[in-house]
Structure 1
Amino acid sequence: MAKYLGPKLKISRREGTDLFLKSGVRAIDTKCKIEQMPGQHGLRKPRLSDYGIQLREKQKVRRIYGILEKQFRNYYKKASQIKGNTGENLLKLLESRLDNIVYRMGFGSTRAEARQLVNHKSITVNNNIVDIASYQTYPNDVIAISEKSKQQSRVKAAIEISDQREKPNWIEVNTDKMQGIFKRIPDRADLSMDINEHLIIELYSR
């Protein structure tokens, strides 16, 4: 499936929930009618089969993290090979991606912006430049804005925005130094997003 390049709020309306594709300073329901399907008059949401419900949940999570279909399936396969709950393992793998950690630390106002920072070699992991957005981070990794990128206006703006949001307790951030520590892999209880990972597991188990 090709990457979607259209209006961000349109796909949030398509899924009927906030996909965190905007900065989050303003509530999404002040920007659009999230309960209505996209279209001039707000199309009526179709009644979905069990398969349709499972598919929509998978699409929702895939879009939250900005991942293409093949890559998402690979994450599922990897999660299923790890001991424990496959659904929780899947979310932990997604949360440990470098672009997501950069977003969680507030260095990018959205995951897409965080991904750009990584791709443009603006992020270091343990003092080494890493330009792979899907790079898997581990506890005690130190993630920072590279010296050459610390004066970027978008980084400073993102940090100002992030100061208005509560940061997860599984990371530690020093905004003055523009760096943070990935303290631990989050538990499922740490992730408050409206996600039913069990539906995704049911979909891939068909």
Structure 2
Amino acid sequence: MPPVSQARMKLLEAMLEAMWERSYAAISVDAICERAGVRKGSFYHFFPSKCALAVAALEHKWQTEASTCLDEMFGSGLPPLERLSRVVDHWYEKARASQLEHGRVLGCPYFSIACETAGVEPELAAMARKILDGFQDRLERTLAEARDRGDLVLDDPAATAACLFSLLEGASTQARIHDDPERVRHLAPAIGGLLGIDFPPVTPATA
């Protein structure tokens, strides 16, 4: 049994991993506790329900990793179109990394959780949407900057960002369904068509 100071964090990490690898509905409190190495009584000391743990786990992910990841992808050190290219590279590398680590492509955890829990666990679905909306907002701001620089001709950066985000999430889901990261890499031509530019291709994996 880990110390109390570590038990809560272990539960958060176990929940995140289990939701990503399997699904929210497929996980029981007992399974989460076993995975975390935490007693069931300690679980209920920290969280009143599985849903409360899942919401806290996503919030923790957003504060400690997801927002930092967005800052790295969308940092202003590069021109906006290069940042967009880096986003697709990152999406592809995440698909490959999950396949290597877990034995299969797992796709976007936030998208999967939002789809599964919409209308069933509203609080959890809302937390997942917050993270997804944060990503789409960064896309919109990057597209608007590219338009203002004269790099793109866009009437509505918000609508274009929504389409681009749909492409990314759709490719990520297809990569999970087919266990094939190349479904993400092949996004580049579609994005180029959407933006009306020659979008740089993603470098294929060598290993």
TM-score (norm 2): 0.28
Structure with the higher helix share, 1 or 2 = 2
* Structure with the largest fraction of strand: 1
